[in-house]
Amino acid sequence: MIVFDLRCGTGHVFEAWFASSSAYEDQRSRALVHCPICDDGQIEKAVMAPNIAPKGNRMGASVPAEIMPTALAALAEAQTKMLAKSEWVGRAFPDRARAMHLGDEPSALIHGETSAAEARELVDEGVPITPLPFRVVPPSTVN
């Protein structure tokens, strides 16, 4: 897995994980990468700072406590907007994602459940998947 800093056409910068650099290019070329803040599909790689570990005797900078609730709320709102455009497929997720990747089924935005082992298999096969930051409650259990 590789993480990229991405920038949308309106200037929002966000991180996204991909199986490889070619997986990112493939998803971007098929317009599957969107800004989680404004849903803009005009995405490009942003300049990234190198990840250099600090000396062991230093404390890393942390996010100020007053920013965390706002950041988490924005992330949850972005996930909710993306899920509204996506179909819940439950435990069929690995099979459906694989079928779309292989061209056996038309591409669509889907979300569902998979085990960690199944997710690793999909990534190893080059299937473009992304974990969601917050747990999704299946529609059948919502009252």
pLDDT of amino acid 56: 62
Whether residue 74 lies inside any domain: the answer is no
Would residue 17 count as lying in a domain?
A: yes
Residue type (1 letter), 58: R
Is-contact 3 45, C-beta < 8 A?
no
pLDDT of amino acid 98: 95
Q: What pLDDT score was predicted for residue 126?
A: 93
Report residue 75 as tokens.
């992330």
> In the chain, how many domains are there?
2
Residue 21 lies in a domain: yes
Identify the pLDDT of residue 54: 62
User: pLDDT > 90: what percent of the chain?
Assistant: 27
Looking at the domain assignment, is residue 18 inside a domain?
A: yes
Examine residue 26 and state whether it is found in any structural domain, yes or no.
yes
Its domain, for residue 31, covers 1-48
Question: Is 77 a domain residue?
Answer: no
d(CA 52, CA 37): 28
Mean pLDDT of residues grouped by 10 in the chain (143 residues)? 86 87 89 88 80 61 74 85 90 95 94 90 91 77 52
Tokens of 111: 């979300």
Cα separations in angstroms, 80 against 46, 76, 136: 25, 6, 9
Confidence (pTM)? 0.52
Phi, psi of 100 (to 5 degrees): -65, -45
